[in-house]
Amino acid sequence: MNIQIDSLTHIFKNGKPQRIALEDISLEIKSGQFTAIIGPSGCGKSTLLRLAADLIQPTAGGIRIDGHSPAQARKSGEIAWMAQSPALLPWLTAQQNVTLAQKFLRADRHPRISAGQALKRVGLGDVENAYPFTLSGGMQQRLALARLLALDAGLWLMDEPFAALDEITREKLTAELLNLWQPLQPTVLWVTHNYYEALRLADRIIVITPSPGRIAADGDISLPRPRREDQPEFQLHLAALRDIMSRSALPQDAQ
């Protein structure tokens, strides 16, 4: 799914003073590209995802997804969302949580992967009848990832989905996510505060300034995968990213 963003501005008007979350954002994201969006808290990263998901409407400018509005893309079932909270229904089993998501797809959409297959791909094939409260935090996020896979969408909007996990679980899921993404090649917008995570995952990194959010930097990451922190090229990219953040007057809060 190609994404075209033109002169996008969003102002939250329900407070005094009004807050400009994003200001004059323009960019194009190619189909199949894994794009990380990085910046400090409150810079508008999540707002950008919510606009792309048709959860809120822009104050000015617009977004086109394969030439269509976010509303049209959403109704066509081309958008899948994954956030820091897994948002699971506690009274449904793991498989039922995934199956329920598929029931909201248009009647003419037939996902290539079943709920059971999605659970197996994320390592939860043996807990399909378990309820969310019996699963660890990492397993709950795997379940949310299975739900995302089962939607078979062309655009994945991912808002810090692993941020609340411990570092070991987070690194493992990051590696597994790449293994799931690479054969499918959906377009991904991945919001993060984490330099290392962005460099491990992304084809491209977009840096957003503090509010009002503007594009401070936008660059491709050409490192071959899998990427390791001990690789000299990784360290060079890391140093360059830190320099960009510093010159853009962004706080050095990413770990």
pLDDT of residue 249: 57
Q: Report DSSP letters for 171-197, one per residue.
A: HHHHHHHHHHHHHH--EEEEEES-HHH
Taking the domains of the chain in order of start, what are their residue ranges?
A: 3-78+154-247, 95-152
pLDDT exceeds 80 at position 15: no
Q: Could you give the CA distance from residue 177 to residue 172 in angstroms, rounded to a whole number?
A: 9
pTM of the model: 0.92
CB under 8 Å to 224, separation ≥6 — which residues? none
Question: Which option is the CATH number for 3-78+154-247: 3.90.25.10, 3.40.50.300, 3.40.50.620, 3.10.20.30?
Answer: 3.40.50.300
pLDDT category of residue 18 using cuts at 50, 70 and 90: confident
**Bridge partners, 97 (sequence order):** none
Pick the residue with more confidence: 7 or 18?
Answer: 7
